[in-house]
Amino acid sequence: MNKTVQLKDLGTKDFKETWDYQETLFKAILDTKIKNRREDAGLITDNHFLFVEHPHVYTLGKSGDLSNLLLSEAQLAEKGATFYKINRGGDITYHGPGQIVGYPILDLDNFFTDIHKYLRFLEEVIILTLAEYGLKTERSPGETGVWLDVGTPFARKICAMGVRASRWVTMHGFALNVNADLGYFDNIIPCGIRGKAVTTLNNELKVDLVNEDEVKAKILKHFEVLFEAEFV
């Protein structure tokens, strides 16, 4: 089993370009697994972890409802935002500046073959990271992602998640709101969940700006421990 993970920070990159890149890495792992199965080739599969920040974009998962996007094409253009229907689970979400997006493209055969556990581990990475800032975050039953004040009228989501998996290979991942502009969430019903707010780390800490590189370092630290992985 290969538990080394190739880490790459793409900086600011267009959503579609990043999606295409993810698909390339995803397909390469799948092709290796198929070759191993057919030819007993014994090849080692790679694991990847991408950090990226996207320009303003809304994405709708394959089970999502287009009516959760509250903007017309003209209004999207006005806001300098793009829109894509994509092949992950979940409904609609927003990505943009000030948000840390993480895309683990892993062969779970190298770790554990359990998608439910994988999602819970991703959530736990974020929960542990935010705990370092003094925030008590948690899961919300039936609603993937990381939340504050679950079960109260003040429940709000700070991190969205949506993944795709095939033959235990994952893609897509999480989006943690660090210094994001919350105004962009007003144009959607986030994740198709009505009446629940969205928040950011800087908002919760009541500061102008949180150091995003510092947050990324904490995410990687907790990911390595939970997944017993090593970044290279």
100 known ligand binder: no
Q: What's the per-residue H, E or C state across the chain?
A: CCCEEEEEEEEECCHHHHHHHHHHHHHHHHHHHHHHHHHCCCCCCCCEEEEEECCCEEEECCCCCHHHECCCHHHHHHCCCEEEECCCCCCEEEECCCEEEEEEECEHHHCCCCHHHHHHHHHHHHHHHHHCCCCCCEEECCEEEEEECCCCCCCEEEEEEEEEEECCEEEEEEEEECCCCHHHHHHECHHHCCCCEECCHHHHHCCCCCCHHHHHHHHHHHHHHHHCCEEC
231 in a known ligand binding site: no
Q: Is 92 annotated as a binding residue?
A: yes
> Is 173 labelled as part of a ligand binding site?
yes
Using the Cα atoms of residue 232, residue 126, residue 141 and residue 99 in order, give the sign of their dihedral.
negative
Q: Is 94 annotated as a binding residue?
A: yes
CB 157 within 8 A of CB 91: no
Which residue is catalytic, options 29, 57, 106, 191? Answer: 191
Is 90 known as a binding-site position? Answer: yes
Would you say 14 is a known binding-site residue?
Answer: no
89 is an annotated ligand-binding site residue? yes
- Is residue 159 annotated as part of the catalytic site, yes or no? no
- 111 labeled binding residue: no
Q: Which residues are catalytic?
A: 191
Residues of the binding site for substrate: 88-95, 160-162, 173-175
Indicate the annotated binding residues: 88-95, 160-162, 173-175
